[in-house]
Chain A
Amino acid sequence: MSGAGGVYTVKEDWYARITVVVAFIALLLGGVFGVLQVISRTPYWPNLYEMLARIGLGASADELYYRGLTAHGVLLAIVLTTFYIVGISAYLTPRVLGINIRPVFLNVSLAMMVVGLVIAAIAIVLGWANVLYTFYLPLVGHPFFYLGAALLILGSWVFAAGAFLAFLEWRKANPGVGIPLVFFGILTAFIVWIMATTPLVFIVLKNHIPASLLGWSTDALESRLFFWWFGHALVYFWLVPAITLWYYYVPKALGVPLFSETMAKVAFALFILASTPVGLHHQFADPGVNPYYKYIQTFLTLVVASPSMLTAFNIIATMERGGRARGGEGLLGWIFKQPWRDPVYLGLVLAFVTFGNGGITGIINASYQLNNVVHNTTWVVGHFHTTVGTAVALTFMVYTFILLRELYGRELILRGLAPAVPLLWFIGMMIFSLAYYAAGLEGAPRRTSDPTYGGFMPAEWALPLQIGAIGGLIFAVGGLIFLVQFFGSLAGGARIPLAQPATLLLNPHPPGRATILDRISLLIVAAIILNVLAYSGALIEIYSRGLQPVPPLLP
């Protein structure tokens, strides 16, 4: 390794400090909208948006609901995740590789992302883009919404380019050395991100911006196809950094090596291969796509579930190994010998456990025929709150307890409350998700400001939706405690001097020799071929049938 045990990370840390703060401002605002909507959409509970409409916000309660829902989705699924991921990657990359990211990439990336965020936020807050986070054409929002989102994404590409360059420099300096696992994770996340966002940027330029700016007619099915080509790969862009933090921190906290670094790299390689050609499983119910193409992507979705199953084994095996090293005996004794008092460890493991819940429901969603029962019901809401809403978000939150010390140089305030954050989030999310699964199985829809349908709502919906809302409020309290701790520590936590150069993180252990898994370009080429194979059928079908353009309409 270059850098002789240390590397100056001043610029990267500056970038990471800003992006992580933006991420948690998004968590705060997105969380407020989440609380408003979970109360307002629950049968027989007060409609808070009704009250907001009455005090004269110049919009109806329903419009405010959908405006809030758009903000909730965009802030939490796009802003929180993307900003946190570029931040943590900027923080980790030099510390793992011993090589700096060139400052120009960081400056340009930050400027583009922040400007894009502001432009899109203006459109959303003013109600110019009540199109929800999936923005299906021909519903159309203000051009600012699309331009802002595109700038934000392109800004993250600039960061990715900087990280790739640092990696190439590292590879030149370390021929024949295997890629450090943590950086393998970062690399995987950004490869998936670029493969995912390419179809999105294409369709936004081809359809959304012309529809919004010039009123052009566009084909709704074509837009959905490209959106979901992006939309499902996106989830692995969220998930892979969280998994990387599990692989990094769980063995570190236990003081043992990861059970199998090879298995971890195989998991990342499978994510690169199979993350993107799976979007059609969001379109099982769409007319216009042949069942055979849907089935091919169903199979690939099962393939991309396999790295998560490998991760489950690897993490649990590491926990067992660590628990036994700490004196745990018998079949399950190791469970009681975990460092549960460490809120970061506790949080990561609870996030990991919740991912089991979300992973299983994900396989059900993707199961071709079964999807008909749950498509667009609250079941799906339960699913993505356990995955991105917990496996990812909770991981990011608790890991921030470490960033406060090591990135911001601040002591955590209200230390004793730290375990309450993962515990409340976990308990609340379990209640929320199970109740929303139950309501979804009865057919309760997602994405509606009022599921009572003039009193004709099936009676079975009310109770699970109410229980789910209680779960939602419980994890909101966990989130609030976290936000108070985070912003409170930044404002008033005792200062800790930050050492420069920063120490290199050689974890889980120094990388060994390079293997075939470290040949990233091979993986990328294979992934592109797989995408072409998986999508060519549906694309040829849509274009050879002839597009069916329809004019854009306001929501």
Chain B
Amino acid sequence: MESREVAFEFIWILIILAVIAGFSASMAYYGFARGLNPACTVYTEEELEAKGIKLEPGVKEVGPGIYEVTIEARQFVWIPREIVLKDPVRVTFRVYTPDVVHGLHIVGTSVNVMVIPGYVAEFVWEPPRGMKGETIFICHEYCGIGHQLMWGKIVIERSGVMLDGGLSGGVLGGGGVR
């Protein structure tokens, strides 16, 4: 092999190392310095009960724009099937299932989490301020023959003048949702 070829080989290896170092550093920075982790806080149902939190499906507004939403996933339905949020600022979700593995994805957002029996997924979502209207949330992990029936609606209502993105009238980036 010519020395020029060997040089190319080493340059390429340096590029690979730079890619690995750059990517893993940026993910670590956003994950651990900025708190942007894909994972969610998790409790077993017992741990949650010990903290005095009862799992009851429903939407609770605990402060202005501060919501606690508890969702139960069952073969093949979400409880509740419709979630209405008025001027939401911060939404704490607790999602659990008594039966099999499900997945929750609010279409058009980055809310995307597995629902595993025995474990409660807790995570906080701050909806984009321009987001309003209707979108669907779906089960994205095969849970049985009726999996495709498992969807629900999230309605975000806004009062007053929208400061940003309010003109689009849709959800996230103006994508219209029927």
Contacts and interface: CB of A to CB of B under 8 A. Distances in A.
Interface of A: 60, 62-63, 66, 130, 132, 136-139, 219-221, 224, 259-260, 263, 283-291, 294-295, 298-299, 302-303, 305-306, 309-310, 313, 317, 363, 367-369, 371-373, 375-377, 442-443, 445-451, 453-460, 545-550, 553-555
A240 B38 CA distance: 30
Interface string B3-40: 00100110011001001100110011011100011111
B38 A287 contact: no
A306 B122 CA distance: 35
A136 B103 CA distance: 12
Nearest to B6: A260
Nearest to A219: B118
- Report the 4 A-B pairs with minimum CB-CB distance, sorted nearest first: A548-B118, A287-B42, A555-B144, A287-B121
B145 A550 contact: no
A295 B28 contact: yes
A550 B115 CA distance: 13
A445 B118 CA distance: 24
B39 A458 contact: no
A363 B23 CA distance: 10
Interface residues of B, number: 63
B42 A60 contact: no
B73 interface: no
A302 B20 contact: yes
B40 A287 contact: yes
Contact of A447 (B45, B110, B142): B142
Contacts of A132: 142
Interface in B145-175: 145-148, 151, 153, 175
28 contacts: A62-B145, A66-B142, A136-B142, A138-B99, A139-B101, A219-B118, A220-B117, A221-B119, A224-B116, A260-B1, A287-B39, A294-B37, A294-B39, A298-B27, A299-B20, A302-B24, A303-B20, A313-B9, A372-B110, A442-B108, A443-B108, A447-B147, A456-B136, A458-B107, A548-B44, A548-B45, A548-B118, A553-B144
B114 A286 contact: yes
Interface in B45-69: 45
A285 B112 contact: yes
Contacts of A283: 114
- Per DSSP, chain B at the interface is mixed
Given A369-B30, A443-B107, A447-B147, A458 B113 contact: no
Interface string B90-120: 0000000011110101011010111111111
B53 to A, nearest CB: 15
B39 to A, nearest CB: 4
Contacts of A313: 9, 12
B177 interface: yes
Given A219-B118, A287-B113, A310 B148 contact: no
A60 B142 contact: no
A546 B23 CA distance: 35
A458 B108 contact: yes
A546 B44 contact: yes
Contacts of B119: 221, 287-288, 548
A290 B32 CA distance: 12
Given A60-B145, A448-B148, A291 B31 contact: yes
A96 B45 CA distance: 57
B5 A259 contact: yes
B87 interface: no
A306 B27 CA distance: 17
A446 B38 contact: no
Contacts of A456: 136, 151, 153, 177-178
A548 B116 CA distance: 10
A50 to B, nearest CB: 13
B85 interface: no
Given A260-B9, A302-B23, A369-B27, A286 B116 contact: yes
B44 A545 contact: yes
A283 B115 CA distance: 11
B83 interface: no
A246 B165 CA distance: 51
Contacts of B45: 548
Interface in B119-135: 119-122, 135
Nearest to A292: B32
Contact of A376 (B8, B28, B141): B141
B71 interface: no
A284 B38 CA distance: 6
A455 B38 contact: no
A60 B38 CA distance: 37
A449 B151 contact: no
A347 B38 CA distance: 38
A63 B147 CA distance: 10
Contacts of B101: 136-139, 220, 224
B149 to A, nearest CB: 8
A143 B88 CA distance: 48
Contact of A459 (B27, B112, B140, B176): B176
B112 to A, nearest CB: 5
A546 B46 CA distance: 11
A453 B141 CA distance: 15
B118 A263 contact: no
B143 A139 contact: yes
Contact of A453 (B30, B44, B143, B151): B151
A442 B135 CA distance: 12
